[in-house]
């Protein structure tokens, strides 16, 4: 485990997946991240790369050749190189290798940069096309935040506060694929109460979310967090069945739709980079 620390926060990370595994307030000792209990879901904050979500039959086609990738890609299961920039900044990197080229025929360098700034953790995704052909990719975050933050409170004592939405339109998931059917949920002053049964039919998937910040709050608890995610066109919210966490997932990319033709270059939400081009996005969480 590798740690970052400032006067407000202490964060811990694993080289496997370059994964954030703990985010604690030094003042209150509150743990803001999910515990990773494998009885429910044994991850904490995996990186989704080079795809987000599932592929139809776990297969895509590029230049008329079939390739197989598992749900959310392979980066979350790979060991990253770690470089400690300072007490408050850390960079993980992953590059293509012989194994990755068998399932994803592109040369790349993926960077996960974490920085602490006052009471905020900033996570930046940095992608470099190191090859000589166009790079096609999707990328996304999957951080799981603890709910409730206080043991004496319940899951439904908390709510999500959307900063720009008054109603939510989510696409249903059909056997890991995005369905055309949608569901509308009205919000009261931008609030969505957290209930375990929200996620009994899988994640809530949004293609047209207006908000670029979502807070986790409770009227019974002064502590919570605000999650900011500018320039991510898709978003997912999920929890394992009856587990005490909520995943706030900013995505540049999305699972295959039910009508997909499985061609990587035509995949919904797919991004491309020319040779030697860089790409960067970031999300940040403020703890209070």
- In a 13 Å sphere around the CA of 205, the CA atoms on its Cβ side amount to 25
Are 216 and 147 in contact by the 8 Å Cβ rule? The answer is yes
Burial (CB < 10 A; 0-12, 13-18, 19+), residue 257, is middle
- pLDDT per position as a tens digit, 75-118: 999 999 999 999 999 999 999 999 999 999 999 999 999 999 99
DSSP string covering 126-173: EEEE-SSS-EEE-EEE--EEES-SSTTS-GGGEEEEESS-SEEEEEEE
pTM: predicted TM-score of the whole model, two decimal places: 0.96
Q: Where does the pLDDT of residue 208 fall: very low under 50, low under 70, confident under 90, or very high at 90 and above?
A: very high
pLDDT of residue 103: 98
Residues 6 or more apart whose Cβ sits within 8 Å of residue 158: 147, 148, 149, 193, 194, 216, 217, 218, 221, 224
In DSSP terms, which residues pair with 193 in a beta bridge?
159
- Domain boundaries in the chain? 2-287
Are 55 and 256 in contact by the 8 Å Cβ rule? The answer is yes
- pLDDT per position as a tens digit, 35-55: 999 999 999 999 999 999 999
CATH architecture, domain 2-287: Distorted Sandwich (2.70)
- Output the six-digit token pair for 18: 């370059």
- pLDDT per position as a tens digit, 9-36: 999 999 999 999 999 999 999 999 999 9
Residues 6 or more apart whose Cβ sits within 8 Å of residue 171: 178, 179, 180, 181, 182, 205, 206, 207
Q: Where does the pLDDT of residue 150 fall: very low under 50, low under 70, confident under 90, or very high at 90 and above?
A: very high
Residues 6 or more apart whose Cβ sits within 8 Å of residue 48: 72, 73, 75, 76, 138, 139, 140, 141, 142, 249, 251, 253
Of the chain, the percentage scoring pLDDT greater than 90 comes to 100
Q: Where does the pLDDT of residue 160 fall: very low under 50, low under 70, confident under 90, or very high at 90 and above?
A: very high
DSSP structural state of residue 7: S
């Amino acid at each position: 485990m590798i740690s970052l620390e400032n006067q407000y926060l202490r964060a811990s990370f694993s080289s496997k997946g370059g994964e954030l595994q703990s985010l604690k307030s030094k003042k209150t000792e509150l743990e803001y991240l999910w515990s990773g209990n494998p009885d429910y879901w044994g991850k904490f904050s995996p990186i989704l790369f080079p795809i987000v979500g599932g592929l139809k039959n776990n297969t895509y086609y590029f230049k008329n050749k079939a390739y197989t990738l598992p749900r959310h890609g392979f980066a979350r299961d790979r060991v990253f190189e770690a470089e400690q920039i300072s007490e408050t900044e850390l960079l993980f990197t992953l590059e293509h290798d012989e194994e990755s080229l068998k399932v994803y025929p592109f040369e790349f360098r993926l960077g996960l940069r974490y920085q602490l700034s006052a009471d905020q953790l900033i996570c930046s995704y940095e992608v470099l096309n190191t090859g000589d052909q166009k790079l096609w990719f999707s990328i996304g975050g999957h951080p799981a935040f603890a709910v409730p933050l206080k043991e004496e409170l319940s899951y439904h004592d908390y709510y999500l506060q959307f900063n720009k939405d008054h109603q939510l339109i989510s696409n249903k998931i059909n056997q890991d694929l995005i369905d055309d059917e949608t569901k509308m949920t009205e919000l009261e002053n931008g609030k969505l109460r957290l209930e375990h049964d929200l996620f009994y039919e899988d994640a809530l998937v949004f293609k047209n979310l207006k908000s670029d910040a979502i807070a986790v709050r409770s009227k019974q608890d002064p502590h919570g967090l605000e999650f900011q995610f500018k320039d991510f066109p898709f978003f997912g919210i999920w929890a394992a069945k009856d587990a005490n966490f909520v995943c706030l997932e900013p995505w540049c990319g999305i699972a295959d739709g039910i009508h997909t033709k499985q061609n990587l270059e035509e995949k919904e939400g797919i991004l491309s980079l020319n040779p030697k081009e860089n790409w960067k996005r970031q999300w940040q969480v403020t703890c209070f």
